[in-house]
Amino acid sequence: MRRAGAGLIAIAAAVGLAISVYNYLMPVSLLEPDSSVTGTAGALLVVASSAIILVAALVLAAGSGGRALRAFLVAGCLVGVLGTGFAAYLLDTLPLLIAMAVCLIGWLAMFAMRRNPYSV
């Protein structure tokens, strides 16, 4: 279940990365009216944090690294998802906020208990 949760984080982080890149480079009046997010440092920071979450989730999904690295990446993913979600809220970007909510669900899925097939 750990790899499935990390895979869900990776997929949602990739979607979040695409959304945040679009928000940073969004042409004026293409799909939305003037945005105050386009070209700002805050939007660029969200692009970087989404990319970092994606890389961390891919490392977790691959199952590589030692126990300390995995613990660091799991904790880092939680901090990154919460921070990026808060930034998405402040930047009024609902699709990115939804993507970070899916990342949080994936993070929680990494800790889902496995049922022991030999228990009664």
Q: What percent of the chain has pLDDT over 70?
A: 85
Report yes or no on 41 lying in a domain. yes
**Exposure of 47 by Cβ count < 10 A (0-12 exposed, 13-18 middle, 19+ buried)?**
buried
Report yes or no on 98 lying in a domain. yes
Report yes or no on 89 lying in a domain. yes
Residue-wise pLDDT tens digits, 51-85: 999 999 999 999 877 889 989 999 999 999 999 99
Report yes or no on 51 lying in a domain. yes
Report yes or no on 116 lying in a domain. no
The candidate with the shortest Cα–Cα distance to 95, out of 41, 52, 32, is 32
Domain count, the chain: 1
Report yes or no on 118 lying in a domain. no
Q: What is the pTM of this model?
A: 0.83
| 3-state percent breakdown (helix, strand, coil) of the chain, nearest 5 | 70, 0, 30
> Domain span at residue 101?
2-27+35-109
- Per-residue pLDDT at 26 exceeds 60: yes
Using CA atoms, how far apart are residues 87 and 65, in angstroms rounded to an integer?
Answer: 30
pLDDT at position 32 is 56
Using CA atoms, how far apart are residues 103 and 106, in angstroms rounded to an integer?
Answer: 5
Residue-wise pLDDT tens digits, 98-117: 999 999 999 999 887 666 66
